[in-house]
Structure 1
Amino acid sequence: MPIAVDLQSFIRAATYICLFFGVYAFFSGRNLLRTAREVPFYRVRQQRTLGGWRSLFLGVLLCAAALWLGFFGERSAYAIFPVTPTPSLSPTPSLSPSPTLTPSLTLTPSLTPTLQFTLTPSITPVPVLPAEIAAEFTSQVTPSGAAVFSPFVFARGVNLGNYQPIGADIVFENPVTGIYALFTYDQMQPEVQWTALWYRDGVLVHYETKPWDGGTGGAGFTEWLAPAEEWLPGRYQVEMFVGNEVKLIGNFDVTGNPATSTFTPSPTATRTPTPLPSDTPTLTPSPTRTPTPSPSATHTRQPTATAK
């Protein structure tokens, strides 16, 4: 099968061939000159020296030819062999029979149904960080916006050794005492402000916001640990912000009635009222003196002597 080679490809191939053999001849001549010095016989040494110089000259000549072909070969070849456009055969249009019109059935217009209700797609609101929580920011680092996070994995616990979830699920049945939202992250800035909001049926029930104290990449979590009676059944949503930009949203459900704490009455001290002093004076009876009869002088008559 004949192979058609254009002029440009031929010149490039010739350039590479000249360059290859030129380099080969140059190093061969250099090697002959080096070994000729070690030959003790004069005639043999002269022959090798002459062959070495001949190879060096041939190598330089071939390298020069390769350079000339690379820079001026195409231009010179096109000057000697001008390029003429090759006429291309265009297909002759063939006559095709014209279509014959066939009468078709006339369609009777049908009733066009009228839409009674038009469904308008609802717009999903973008979570916004509450202003009262944003007012608690303490970080001075401006978020770059390059941080990326994996979806939340909700679990009842977490292994702090390898950050693997314990009891992972999306539906948790009471009693519940705490839920962990685990995630992986990358390109996080140290000391940038981050916030986690916990909602139950659209009502904020817990949040945390503080400067980021982890690394630039790895695994982390946010948690809500609360008494069992606070875990009411419903749909819970966790939103994570970096600065004021929401980065992660996850949902889970809590079912069943929450555990209630039993109230145990404890004895309390009963205060006995102490009578207060009255402002009304109390009359105290004073002792009544009883009159003591005093002795009175009684005159006793003395007998008188009678004369006989």
Structure 2
Amino acid sequence: METSLRHTIPDYEIEAEIGCGNLTKIYRARSKADGRLVSIKIVLPEFVTDRAFVRRFTEAASRAIKLDHPNIARTFEVAERGGVVYVVREYLDASCLAEWLAQRGPVPLEQVVSIVRQLASALDYAHSRRVMHGDINDRCIYIDTEERVKLADFGLVQSVPGSDLGRGRMHGIRLVHSLGACEYLAPERVQGQGPNRSADIYALGVVAYQLLTGAPPFRGEPEDVLTAQVYEIPQPVHLVDHRISSAVNATISRVLAKRPELRYSTATEFVRAFAAAAEGVAPGRGPQISGRVKPSAEARKSLGLLAIVVFAAIVVLTMALLWNLSGVGGWVKEQMSPWLSALIPPTPAPISISESPLAAPTGAVTITPQFTATAAFAPTSVSVTSPVRIISATTTTIVPIEATATRAPRTPTVQVSPTASAPASGAPFGNLIVAAGIDANNRPVSPGTTFSAARRPLYVFFEYRNMSPQATWGHIWLREGQELSRVEENWPANWGSAGRAWVYYTPEVSYLPGTYEVQLLVNGQVVATTTFTIK
């Protein structure tokens, strides 16, 4: 085949075959124009006959050309000549992660953090340019002798024939065809959804798990691994290796959550939490100091004054006790009571408070009436010996994080009345519904316009029509007019032109009281909005 390639790809001198995957063979070659070494990935002949696959493959490779990042292997060219489809990319004088781990054995924690940080930087850069990887695994991650990391093959496997992830089903799971990386597939990918930001972050979490323990969370026959991805919980990393802290395990557990909205929203958010846990530092706090700390001069002075005050209080209490025991105190109280009663008002009787049940509002949401309770309150005196700092919940800073992409849309299965914010007829998005949850059939749970303050995702469901892969779309979340997050990306081709989808947003701290607005965009223009209130 090398002889025929030399005629088919005349701009490069083919030197040797250096690898073979499920879709391609890889050759080391040298550019005749400038002499640089490159890698050429040749699509296997059995896939070239599928013209839909070839189109998707070349489109994915073309999108990767625009990626220029120190931790991403550069793609220079994608073409089809003489029935040969190929991609020319940067030649990496490095080992893939699978080989690197086999050679080195256990990886120190600080080195794991370094590798994951470089991968997270590459992913967030690509995601910001609307490019998803779709098949992160230990064969497309490369590490050189200086421990510089490169991530390769962005988007290529998204073009695999049967991109709906399978020909058959087993226990409701679609089997993956020709991927060969089921150990890294997020549950929603196994169930048929296309590549997205959250699935890439899940795969990054699997890589972190593998670096920490030496193996991915689930191994075995592909069907067993796919079932485990959806239904089983990975063994905690701190139980696999007792040198790993439970704090590190907490970050791994979150990034490998079965539901996308419970994971970190960006790769950088994950690596920050992961690094802080590895260093034994809570995010946003300084390092913990062990051992005894010598108090400062000011502190010692305060402690001395406190001791004097306590001693004086003991003396006063002792004298009062002796006063009462001697009978003098009672005589003084009796003589002074008329004047004291004029100065000090009597203690009021306990107050009885009863809450009446709230009437259920009209509409689709029913609120259960509150209970009726009776409580007694008696006034008490409070002595404050030092200033008290009151922190208002409304002043808590929300860390802006990006809302992640949606599940693959489905044909509507339930009738939902349009909201007042539904756009005019003919608009691409409509029938926006805000809900507190989502059920197994992708339908809204507890829809409404008012929700309580909490740290959990809220969802916006919408119907779409007249959409095409050439369009871009996005969603913006705002609070009191202030932008919290913005996501814009190409409309996924496998979603079709009409259907239903949903987006969500999970705050880092909590939803704070106020009015929120969600805007849906097409080609940079706002085409639909909805609002809700947090109380």
Q: Which TM-score applies when normalising by structure 2?
A: 0.20
**Higher Cα Rg, which structure:** 1
> 1 or 2 for the larger relative contact order (CA 8 Å, sep ≥6)?
1
Q: Which TM-score applies when normalising by structure 1?
A: 0.34
Structure with more helix by fraction: 2
